[in-house]
Structure 1
Amino acid sequence: MKKPEQIDVIALIPELDKLLFKLLEGLSADDWNKQTIAPKWKVKDVAVHLLDGNLRTLSMLRDKYYGEKPDNINSYEDLLDFLNRLNADWVKATKRLSPEVIIDLLKSSGKEYGDFLTTLDPDDKAEFSVAWAGENESKNWFHIAREYTEKWHHQQQIRYAVGDDNELLKDEWYLPYLDTSVRALPYHYRDVEGKAKDLVKFTFSGVTEKSWFLYYENGWQLLTSIDAEPKSEVRIRDEYAWKIFTKGMTREEAIKLSEIRGNKELGEKIFDMIAVMA
């Protein structure tokens, strides 16, 4: 029985950014206006959202400047409403920016962003918790891993829209994304009734197979390996998993395109799990 280890993606984030710059520099004018899997956003909108992520992180966490502060945040839904409004305001304001300006700003802010992350002690308390994993307090390493998943899935949204979505499904990029996202499983399953030693196996298949487990012992806990027979196994292909976790696919579509072996009720719960603030 083995529990998940700390995730280290510090060195990967600048390299992921380089892939983004190369991608954006190769887009045509029509590509920038293509619809993404995010219903309200075109390719350009997703690109400026990534820019906003860099700039807001630097402003708030490095410079301690918070600009707009939320009022009356009493629930997860209140926080989502606030973030959605900020996102919409930014996308609207940046309509006036050219693709060339956006790329230049992504490059300069991305460098400062990456440099800042290296100054954080991985084991210190993060300024913001990873709410979608049910944490009220998180370590910096998990905050940074969450930031990686943000950069990963938004770049993948762009890639999917322009028909170039295989690069980020390579294990070197996709495994850290999955390893971070599945940390939401115990919280997501918190209301699912289990019996002692119940085991659910989640297998993600692409070039290689990757598996994680939920084991019940006074609550669900996430494991990376265990020598026991699962009560339920869910098999999801790589090209669908990221869409499931980011609201890019309906629950019904996901179930149809995946496989559940054994207890269906235990396995199906994963198909409405979200690993983003959405």
Structure 2
Amino acid sequence: MILTKPIFTVDLLPKLDEKLIEVLQSLSPQDWEKQSIAPLWNVKDIALHLLDGNIRALSMLRDQYFGVIPESINSYQDLLDYLNKLNHDWVTAMKRVSPKIIIELLTSTGKEYCEYLKTLDPFEPATFSVAWAGEEQSSNWFHIAREYTEKWHHQQQIRFAVGQTAELLTQEFYFPYLETSMRALPHHYRNVEASKGALIKFSISGDGGGDWFIEFDGKQWYLTLNPSQKPVTEVTIEGEIAWRIFTKGINKQRAAKQISIKGNQLFGEKILNMLAVMA
């Protein structure tokens, strides 16, 4: 059975934003300057990036104002370069802004963005596709779920830096992040050859974890529910590092020590390179 079940996160986003405001309000001045696992950003920089996400999305999607338009996007790398420059310019310009103002702006823009997302028909085409899942056209529900993963993992980067990660590793918050991120599996494995019917099982431990399966039909891999055959490979990943693998938050060598693979090792090790972010 091909996995086509939509992931609805629109009602969870306001709760996630509330968690963000809670953690930011708990920070000391020193906490705001702590280095995150994102090499170029400290805690304040990540909070600023989240603010940029709210404002940029409202401007483009709600107000149809696209501001800085790239001259040409001819490849995935062109898109990355464009986004990285936007991110860098924003964070640099906003360094003069205080944490208090950042929290106030995140509170107000977060509410506006969540309200806007609720107005979208979840099954209508989204303005932007989910490129890391290999889609050229995505539905709004997937765009919204992708936005959830962005907000989730950036907040978790902040929490990781200040030692408050447990709040987002629950079934309520972590499982939707993982469920969305694992939609990258078929695209990530697209160049992996296998026998028809080959099945790979991925298990992520912890309260927010679960099991996911991809099967090869002779031409391509696809996500499947309730498989009937035995997997040729079973991969188990520690819940506390899964999100770091999918967001370039841990190197491959360190991550490899915290996963177990039964069966075809090459099939299993491929997961260590998977990204569910634009990076």
Alignment TM class, shorter chain as reference = over 0.9
CA distance in 2, matches of 1:92, 1:160: 23
1:120 match: secondary structure: coil
Contact 2:170 2:208 (C-alpha < 8 Å) held by counterparts: no
Contact 1:203 1:211 (C-alpha < 8 Å) held by counterparts: yes
1:16-60 Cα deviation digits (max 9, x unpaired): 000110110010000000000100000000001000000001000
Tell me which amino acid in the other structure corresponds to 2:214: L
1:221-258 Cα deviation digits (max 9, x unpaired): 01232122100000001111000000001112111211
Contact 1:244 1:254 (C-alpha < 8 Å) held by counterparts: yes
Percent of residue pairs identical:
57
Residue matched to 2:41: 41
The offset of 1:194, in angstroms, is 1.2
Structure 1 gaps, min length 5: none
CA distance in 2, matches of 1:258, 1:5: 27
Tell me which amino acid in the other structure corresponds to 2:233: S
Tell me which amino acid in the other structure corresponds to 2:180: T
1:213 match: secondary structure: strand
Tell me which amino acid in the other structure corresponds to 2:211: S
Correspondence 1:88 to 2:93: no
Moved over 4 A (4+): none
**What are the within-5 Å matches in structure 2 for residues 1-278 of structure 1?**
1=1, 3-207=3-207, 209-217=209-217, 218-278=219-279
The offset of 1:207, in angstroms, is 2.7
Q: TM-score, normalised by structure 1?
A: 0.98
2:257 match: secondary structure: helix
The offset of 1:89, in angstroms, is 0.3
The offset of 1:5, in angstroms, is 1.0
What is the alpha-carbon root mean square deviation over aligned residues? Answer: 0.9
1:158-200 Cα deviation digits (max 9, x unpaired): 0000000111000100000000000000000000001111000
1:67-116 Cα deviation digits (max 9, x unpaired): 00011211000000000000000000100100000000000001100000
Structure 2 gaps, min length 5: none
CA distance in 1, matches of 2:232, 2:256: 18
CA distance in 2, matches of 1:208, 1:126: 28
Tell me which amino acid in the other structure corresponds to 1:20: L
The offset of 1:4, in angstroms, is 4.4
The offset of 1:208, in angstroms, is 6.0
CA distance in 2, matches of 1:59, 1:105: 15
CA distance in 1, matches of 2:209, 2:239: 9
CA distance in 1, matches of 2:36, 2:47: 11
2:119 match: secondary structure: coil
Tell me which amino acid in the other structure corresponds to 1:220: W
Tell me which amino acid in the other structure corresponds to 2:226: S
1:222 match: secondary structure: strand
Tell me which amino acid in the other structure corresponds to 1:165: T
